[in-house]
Amino acid sequence: MDDRLGIKAVQYPVPAHANTISYSLGGLTAVALLILTVTGIALAQFYNPDPTAANQSVRDIVDNIYLGRWVRGLHFWAAEAMYVLAILHLLRIYVTGSYKRPREANWLVGVAMFALIIGALFTGTVLKWDQEGFEALAHNLELGRLLGGLGFWFSDSFSEGVPIVVRLYVAHVAIIPGLILALFALHALLVKYHKISPRPDNPTESGEPAEPFTHHLRHIGALGLVLLGGLGVLAVLFPPGIGATPVEGIEVTRPRWMFWWMFTLENWVGLSGILWGAAALFALLVALPFLDHNRRRYWRQRPVAMILGALVLVAIIVLTVLEAVSTPAQHL
């Protein structure tokens, strides 16, 4: 089997610190993606993306399909976990300076995957086709109009014979997961090529034992089972709700919590605040390895980068809290 498939190629050596929790966050993000894929395939068998039936089909999954409520809850919480784990993974890379030469390309691949995760969260919200999903789509359509020709895919006129909910369903179950999986494969190949980044306080890995990457996979598998168990419990105790069929012309719901910081900007400057806030954040993430290109990686030796990173993080947290305590405003 190995002569034909080269399975032993994954036994390349990795440093022992790869098995710490902080260096396992990327692997756990992949586990969350695996859970989402399996549960998503199951849910897709019963979901109807027709706008006239979408909301009811979700209700049927919850009420009439064996384990449907739990599978949907597991899918929901796995999405939340993937988002949080991806952020923690990016923060670990930032703090340890692992985005620096020669790993700039892998950082950009990770940023692209993070953008796709946000896209998956948005499309998943819309597919419920309740009031929250309807208003999320309405915001997206308005942002598409602000983008002019660049927002053509988000307009009703792009494909008049196909409802936009159907196109978002295709994006959610095929386009976005396909792109994430392709980028993940590239991400894994670049990790193998450049090796797992050394600890900033021991850049030469002197005195640190190495072990096969398969041992690291076994470690990720064990943590993944813990993650699966925790998400399964959350799916039982806190199943996600679903609202009634949407009513056009009103704006009464609050977006999902990961978008709150952008909606505070919307309250301040209008719909364009969402667009410019997201654009500014991702512009900073893309530019980071080219702006901070010195070789120092230990956080104590990078006070400017640490202060600026902390300021951005605190700003997002403050904007999130402001949205949480404010009354939803009318913008559509």
Q: 182: domain CATH number? A: 1.20.810.10
**Stretch 64-73: mean pLDDT:** 96
User: Which stretch of 128-132, 160-164, 283-287 has the lowest confidence by average pLDDT?
Assistant: 160-164
Q: Taking all residues of the chain, what is their mean pLDDT, rounded to a whole number?
A: 93
Give the per-residue pLDDT at 158. 83
Q: What is the pLDDT of residue 322?
A: 93
Residue indicated by tokens 């419990």: 233
Helix (H) or strand (E) holding 281, with range, is: helix 272-291
In a domain, 58, yes or no: yes
Q: Which of 10, 3, 231, 187 is nearest to 99 (CA)?
A: 187
Contact 152, 273 (CB under 8 A): no
* Residue 276: both structure tokens together: 């410019």
pTM: 0.94
Assess if residue 287 is contained within a domain: no
The per-residue pLDDT for 199 is 92
Strands (E), the chain: 13-15, 210-212
At residue 174's C-alpha, the angle toward residues 169 and 176, to 5°, is 90
Amino acid at residue number 179: L
Fill in the DSSP letter of residue 175.
I
DSSP strand pairing (210-212 vs 13-15): antiparallel
Pair of tokens at residue 21 = 């929790």
Q: Give the whole-number percent of the chain exceeding pLDDT 90.
A: 76
- At CB < 8 A and 24+ separation, what contacts does 141-150 make? 142/271, 142/331, 142/332, 143/271, 143/274, 143/275, 146/271, 146/272, 146/275, 147/275
The DSSP H or E segment spanning 99 is: none
Q: How many residues does this entry show for the chain?
A: 332
Q: Which domain holds residue 237?
A: 10-252
CA distance 207 to 28: 27
Regarding predicted confidence, which is higher, 329 or 159? 159
> Residue 290: pLDDT band by 50, 70, 90 thresholds?
very high
CA dist., res. 136 & res. 207, Å (int): 53
Cis amide bond preceding 163, omega within 30: no
User: Could you tell me if 96 and 197 are in contact, meaning their C-beta atoms sit under 8 angstroms apart?
Assistant: yes
Per-residue pLDDT, 146: 87
| Contacts with 317 (C-beta within 8 Å, 6 or more apart), sequence order | 261
Max CA distance (Å), the chain: 65
Q: SS3 for 15? A: strand
Evaluate whether residue 218 is within a structural domain. Answer: yes
Residue 271 lies in a domain: no
How far is Cα of residue 43 from the mean position of the Cα atoms in its chain?
19
pLDDT, residue 147, reads 85
Q: What is the mean pLDDT of residues 83-87?
A: 98
**Count of the separate structural domains present in the chain:** 1
HEC profile of 131-172: HHHHHHHHHHHHHHHHCHHHHHHHCCCCCCCCCHHHHHHHHH
Q: Do the domain assignments include residue 296?
A: no
Give the Cβ contact number of residue 137 at 10 Å.
21
Q: How far apart are CA 329 and CA 257, in angstroms?
A: 16
The structure tokens listed for 137 are: 């789509």
Q: How far apart are CA 93 and CA 204, in angstroms?
A: 18
Tell me the residue type at 131: Q
Instruction: Let me know if residue 64 belongs to a domain.
Output: yes
- Mean pLDDT across 249-255: 83
pLDDT for 271 equals: 87
pLDDT confidence bin for 29, thresholds 50/70/90? very high
pLDDT digits (tens, 9 = 90+) for 189-220: 999 999 999 999 888 888 889 999 999 999 99
Inform me whether the pLDDT recorded for 332 exceeds 70.
no
